[in-house]
């Protein structure tokens, strides 16, 4: 760990509240040394992003930084007016967003976007930094041709590297990273993580890394702060939290992480996280905690140090069960039925482009049986989503056949009978784009139930409540609009909407990439249960090999639209035969405690 005397970021007693006075984040105290990475984890609504934005001196509309002291490189960030705060953003502290495509100005060329950052701080003593040096710092081509590109002409990984180039252009001592690899495939993710580690090593940049992906955080962070209901509930060295978590909430998060090397049964934590304005008098986690006592419901625990650099906010932390070796998952191969539910033969798909057609899938063939889960795995651009859209009738194949329940499907969803449309449902990766912003959650879920199953308004209302419970959402959100939900909540609404049609085949396009590990575990438990109870078949598109190992029976590895390898999940992951498959498996993040848990039984 870097020397504690070189503190780059110090936060004390931070409180962010709504204008009404309700706290969003409170009593947050932390520090980060130069060259150190602090991971901040927790479920949606825990206050992670609010905390990080406050470190920029920023609060979202309807909120304010009410108290606290924030110092970066010895300078106060809090207490400045807007002009003063803007002057230090990018110079002392920079922010790398979750969705670079939405944050980069589509009208600005890459070089111009970086130049804007440099121009804003040219008086800050950074005259020696250039656009080329900023691009080179992020391992991007420092060429005129690349600098003249627009954001839409870059891949997702390149867009993220551009935001890194903008963030480090003025060489700030502190970087704030908010889910910087969410949605990226494992190979691109590994490259971004390597770049982050290189910046830490070569420039001694202090970083705060926010993520719901604990496997990724464990790969890069020196220390981890776990947040729940706006407070830090545990903080300590990363390895300690993975091997011997002391807060029951931390333990629940770690136990929910899938691992492709050691597949185990996933069990999500009971209950749902409390929202702002719903926090109880005592410990906020008490309603979900299996080891609570009367004191927990009446009194708020303080964050106490239980070991060197290890703090826990829990009265009963000595009783937190150890992470016993989890039950290995031995999934029996599905017995082949009389005929597969879905047959795909010779599928070829292209995307038209002014410079020539782009091949998205070539001669793809596979089957899915009743209650079987097949996973499509590959880097971005490998053709996974295009294949899914062909199955759903949203992209016209150039060649091939798609047969469902013995019926050859029309290329367009609109030409298919209503019952066939009901039986095949697609859940998109980005729920914000697929949910109508003018429809309340209840209306979005009820619509397929009424249109495809002929349910009455009363029956549909009952169905909405049941489906929200299935995807672990409180019934109160039924009257909210998509913009009022977190990303994880929107994704669960999208899954509930698809299930409202009672499909036989559910196509899931990266549906867990925006979910917390605990919610992801519950979602995968739900889908596994539906497979057993209703015979629901799944086509799972994901870059998370841990998820694949936890739920899928077979997997197809795609590269540039071509199937490189296919077989049972356990066989492909344990003994990959194709070099591309090996590259994916080696790049996938792995739990840092996997071997220790196996050998020590902790």
Transcribe 406-465 into DSSP letters.
Answer: TEEPPSSGGGS-HHHHHHEEEE-S-HHHHS-TTS-HHHHHHHHHHHHH---HHHHHHHHH
Q: Does 268 reside within a domain?
A: yes
Identify the weakest region by mean pLDDT among 438-447, 522-531, 576-585.
522-531
Whether the CA torsion 55, 58, 61, 65 is positive or negative: it is positive
Return the top range by mean pLDDT from 131-135, 145-149, 373-377: 373-377
The tally of domains found in the chain comes to: 3
pLDDT at 324 > cutoff 70: no
Q: State which residues form the domain around 508.
A: 342-436+502-589
pLDDT attached to residue 332: 59
Asked if 91 and 118 touch (Cβ cutoff 8 Å), the reply is no
pLDDT at 235 > cutoff 90: yes
Token pair in block for residue 131:
């656009």
Return the top range by mean pLDDT from 45-49, 145-149, 397-401, 490-494: 397-401
Phi, psi of 75 (to 5 degrees): -105, 140
Higher-confidence residue of 433 and 62: namely 62
pLDDT band at 333 (very low <50, low <70, confident <90, very high): low
Taking each helix axis as running N to C, give the angle between helix 487-499 and helix 517-534, from 0 to 180 degrees, rounded to the nearest 10: 10
pLDDT attached to residue 334: 59
pLDDT at 556 > cutoff 90: yes
Q: Does 207 reside within a domain?
A: yes
Of residues 268, 405, 432, the one with CA closest to residue 340: 405
Q: Provide mean pLDDT across the span 23-31.
A: 95
Identify the weakest region by mean pLDDT among 1-5, 7-11, 146-150, 165-169.
1-5
Q: Provide mean pLDDT across the span 292-315.
A: 95
Alpha carbon 539 to its chain centroid, in Å, reads 19
Asked if 234 and 305 touch (Cβ cutoff 8 Å), the reply is no
**Same domain for 284 and 197:** yes
At which of 152, 171, 190 does a domain end?
171
Q: Does 483 reside within a domain?
A: no
pLDDT at 100 > cutoff 90: no
Distance CA 86, CA 76 (A): 13
Distance CA 54, CA 209 (A): 14
Long-range contacts of 476-482 (CB under 8 A, 24+ apart): 477/441, 478/440, 478/441, 478/442, 478/445, 479/440, 479/441, 479/442, 480/440, 480/441, 481/437, 481/438, 481/439, 481/440, 481/441, 482/431, 482/432, 482/435, 482/436, 482/437, 482/439, 482/441, 482/444
Q: Does 453 reside within a domain?
A: no
Q: Does 53 reside within a domain?
A: yes
For 508-542, give one letter per residue: b (16+ CB within 10 A) or e: bbbbbbbbbbbbbbbbbbbbbebbeeeebbbbbbb
Q: Does 1 reside within a domain?
A: no
pLDDT band at 491 (very low <50, low <70, confident <90, very high): confident
Residues 6+ apart with CB under 8 A from 265: 326, 327, 329, 550
Q: Does 271 reside within a domain?
A: yes
CATH number of the domain that residue 67 is part of: 3.40.50.300
Taking each helix axis as running N to C, give the angle between helix 186-203 and helix 156-168, from 0 to 180 degrees, rounded to the nearest 10: 10
pLDDT attached to residue 255: 86
At which of 319, 353, 377 does a domain end?
319
| 452-464 residue pLDDT tens | 999 999 999 999 9
CA distances from 511 to 16, 125, 137, 334, 473 (A): 31, 45, 33, 24, 16
pLDDT at 336 > cutoff 70: no
**Same domain for 254 and 154:** no
Higher-confidence residue of 334 and 574: namely 574
**Same domain for 585 and 570:** yes
**Same domain for 514 and 432:** yes
**Same domain for 402 and 291:** no
pLDDT attached to residue 22: 93
pLDDT attached to residue 600: 39
pLDDT at 62 > cutoff 50: yes
Reported pTM: 0.81
Of residues 304, 220, 278, the one with CA closest to residue 29: 304
**Same domain for 347 and 241:** no
CA distances from 420 to 406, 412, 452 (A): 11, 12, 10
Q: Provide mean pLDDT across the span 152-170.
A: 84
**Same domain for 258 and 286:** yes
| Average predicted confidence (pLDDT) for the chain | 87
At which of 124, 139, 171 does a domain end?
171
Q: Does 79 reside within a domain?
A: yes
pLDDT attached to residue 329: 56
**Same domain for 350 and 430:** yes
**Same domain for 262 and 218:** yes
**Same domain for 115 and 18:** no
Q: Provide mean pLDDT across the span 178-190.
A: 81
pLDDT band at 599 (very low <50, low <70, confident <90, very high): very low
Query: What SS3 class is residue 379?
Result: coil
pLDDT attached to residue 233: 97
Q: Provide mean pLDDT across the span 230-251.
A: 94
**Same domain for 525 and 557:** yes
Q: Whose structure tokens read 């949605």?
A: 183
Of residues 171, 9, 174, 192, the one with CA closest to residue 100: 192
pLDDT at 601 > cutoff 70: no
CA distances from 336 to 3, 131, 236, 287 (A): 60, 59, 49, 44
CA distances from 31 to 3, 145, 464 (A): 12, 41, 44
pLDDT at 261 > cutoff 90: no
**Same domain for 277 and 191:** yes
């Amino acid at each position: 760990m870097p020397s504690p005397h070189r503190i780059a970021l110090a936060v004390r007693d931070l409180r962010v509240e709504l204008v009404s006075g309700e706290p969003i984040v409170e009593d947050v105290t932390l520090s980060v040394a130069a060259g150190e990475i602090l991971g901040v984890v927790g479920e949606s609504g825990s206050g992670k992003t609010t905390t990080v934005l406050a470190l920029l001196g920023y609060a979202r509309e309807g909120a304010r930084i009410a108290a606290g002291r924030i110092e970066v490189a010895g300078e106060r960030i809090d207490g400045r007016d807007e002009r003063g705060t803007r002057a230090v953003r990018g110079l002392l502290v920079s922010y790398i967003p979750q969705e670079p495509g939405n944050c980069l100005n589509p009208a600005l060329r890459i070089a111009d976007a970086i130049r804007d950052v440099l121009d804003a701080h040219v008086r800050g003593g950074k005259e020696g930094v250039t656009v080329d040096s900023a691009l080179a710092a992020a391992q991007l081509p420092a060429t005129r041709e690349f600098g003249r590109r627009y954001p839409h002409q870059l891949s997702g990984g390149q867009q993220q590297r551009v935001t890194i180039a903008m963030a480090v252009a003025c060489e700030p001592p502190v970087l704030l990273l908010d889910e910087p690899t969410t949605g990226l495939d494992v190979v691109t993710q590994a490259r971004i993580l390597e770049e982050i580690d290189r910046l830490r090593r070569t420039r001694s940049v202090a970083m705060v890394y926010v993520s719901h992906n604990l496997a990724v955080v464990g790969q890069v962070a020196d220390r981890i702060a776990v947040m729940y209901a706006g407070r830090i509930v545990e903080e300590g060295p990363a390895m300690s939290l993975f091997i011997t978590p002391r807060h029951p909430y931390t333990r629940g998060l770690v136990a929910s992480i899938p691992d492709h090397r050691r597949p185990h049964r996933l069990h999500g934590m009971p209950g749902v996280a409390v929202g702002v304005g719903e926090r109880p008098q005592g410990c906020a986690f008490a309603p979900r905690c299996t080891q609570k006592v009367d004191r927990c419901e009446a009194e708020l625990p303080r964050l106490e140090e239980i070991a060197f650099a290890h703090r826990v906010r829990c009265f009963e932390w000595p009783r937190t069960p150890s992470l016993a070796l989890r039950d290995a998952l031995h999934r029996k191969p599905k017995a082949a039925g009389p005929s597969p539910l879905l047959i795909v033969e010779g599928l070829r798909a292209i995307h038209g482009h002014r410079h020539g057609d782009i091949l998205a899938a070539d001669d793809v063939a596979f089957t899915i049986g009743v209650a079987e889960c097949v996973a499509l795995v590959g880097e971005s651009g490998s053709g996974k989503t295009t294949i899914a859209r062909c199955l759903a009738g949203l992209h016209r194949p150039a060649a091939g056949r798609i047969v469902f329940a013995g019926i050859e499907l029309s290329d367009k969803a609109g030409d298919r009978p209503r019952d066939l449309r009901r039986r095949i449902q697609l859940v998109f990766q980005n729920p914000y784009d697929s949910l109508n912003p003018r429809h309340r959650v209840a209306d979005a879920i009820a619509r397929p139930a009424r249109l495809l199953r002929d349910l009455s308004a009363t029956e549909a209302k009952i169905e909405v409540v049941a489906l929200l419970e299935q995807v672990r959402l409180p019934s109160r959100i039924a009257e909210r609009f998509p913009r009022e939900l977190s990303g994880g909540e929107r994704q669960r609404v999208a899954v509930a909407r698809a299930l409202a049609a009672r499909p036989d085949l559910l196509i899931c396009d990266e549906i867990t990439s925006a979910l917390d590990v605990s919610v992801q575990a519950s979602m995968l438990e739900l889908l596994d249960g539906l497979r057993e109870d209703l015979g629901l078949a799944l086509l799972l598109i994901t870059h998370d090999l841990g998820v694949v190992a936890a739920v899928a029976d077979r997997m197809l590895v795609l590269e540039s639209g071509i199937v490189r390898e296919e077989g049972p999940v356990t066989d492909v992951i344990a003994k990959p035969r194709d070099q591309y498959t090996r590259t994916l498996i080696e790049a996938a993040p792995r739990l840092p405690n996997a071997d220790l848990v196996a050998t020590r039984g902790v």
